[in-house]
Amino acid sequence: MGSQTQISSFAFHKIRDYVHRTAGIIIGADKTALVTGRLWRRLELFGFDSYEAYFSFVSSPKGAQERNTMLDLLTTNETYFFREPAHFNFLRDEIIPQQGYNKMRVWCAASSTGEEAHSIAMVLADTLGKTNWDILATDISGKVLEHARTGVYRAERINQIPEDYLKNYCRRGIGEYEGMLAVVPSLRSHITFEQHNLLNAREDDAQFDVIFLRNVMIYFDNATKQKVVENLLRALRPGGWLILGHCESLQGLNTGLTTVRPSIYRKPQAAAAFKRFAS
Ligand SMILES: C[S@@+](CC[C@H](N)C(=O)[O-])C[C@H]1O[C@@H](n2cnc3c(N)ncnc32)[C@H](O)[C@@H]1O
């Protein structure tokens, strides 16, 4: 058994179908090497001699935990601090000045290991101070969220963090933590990391001023994108902003949002609010 074990088209189809149904993620029909490359060690660990046998276990009640592991292995969690920095400048220079004195609530959807949420937190702390803001950061993967909650990263991952933010909001590890960096607790205390699947609407009625939904829509087909955006828009306050990754757009979707710049969208102010001023 090894990375060369062939996957049958039946097992490949079952796995692709499961990932699509559960997370909305499309695995291309030509991605057999990706699937086997990421899963063969699991077959080895459990002693299965075929992907059919592995998937049959994963689908059984006993395979509940392994289902999550399989999903974790088949999703892409790539992220880094201040990825696509123009969005953080937009937050600082355009959104925050329009916020007035209201508490700012940001939802970082598909946050992966937390670098994005911590980058947002640095901008909010720097511009708004210690209070008056909070962040909900969510991801489908419990594993990446576990990492995110620690706020500890390898120091080589931090070169995009502006120097003054590094000084104010990060601490370099010493001794056994040499080569690591920790985000300060005063920043982390503003962030709640929560497991959430974007295919579902959130159950509470929290409203957010800004939603970051970056570098995840690329994995979805149009029907899934429409559903995900509808779920998110229920939680975006009138006048709030939705920010996608630079390579992503809402083209072809029915959203009612206004394009502010490529990848940045705004929800119109509520009609009712206008009506109050009309007479
Ligand atoms: C490439 S990372 C993007 C991280 C970050 N937003 C960024 O731009 O750097 C994509 C993340 O989306 C998450 N994801 C994929 N499908 C999801 C779903 N249906 N619901 C919630 N998160 C999902 C993955 O677990 C992964 O952590």
DSSP letters, 233-266, are HTTEEEEEEEEE-TT---TT----PEEEETTEEE
Domain span(s) for CATH 3.40.50.150 in the chain: 86-275
Q: What is the pLDDT of residue 277?
A: 47
How many Cβ atoms sit within 10 Å of the Cβ of residue 78? 9
Q: Which of 73, 78, 112, 242 to mutate to test the pocket of ligand 1 (most atoms within 8 A of CB)?
A: 112
Q: What is the pLDDT of residue 101?
A: 73
Q: Is 16 a catalytic residue?
A: no
Q: Is 139 a catalytic residue?
A: yes
Q: What is the pLDDT of residue 2?
A: 54
Tokens of 45: 């660990």
The helix or strand, by DSSP H or E, that contains position 111, with its residue range, turns out to be none
23 vs 224: CA distance, rounded Å: 9
Marked catalytic residue, from 83, 139, 188, 209: 139
Domain span(s) for CATH 1.10.155.10 in the chain: 9-74
Using CA positions, which residue lies closest to atom 9 of ligand 1?
79
Write out residues in the chain with pLDDT < 70, as ranges.
1-4, 271-279
* CATH code at 86-275: 3.40.50.150
* CATH code at 9-74: 1.10.155.10
Nearest alpha carbon to residue 204 among 140, 113, 138: 138
pTM of the model: 0.94
Q: Kindly give the distance from the C-alpha atom of residue 76 to the centroid of ligand 1, in angstroms, as a whole number.
A: 7
Q: What is the pLDDT of residue 278?
A: 46
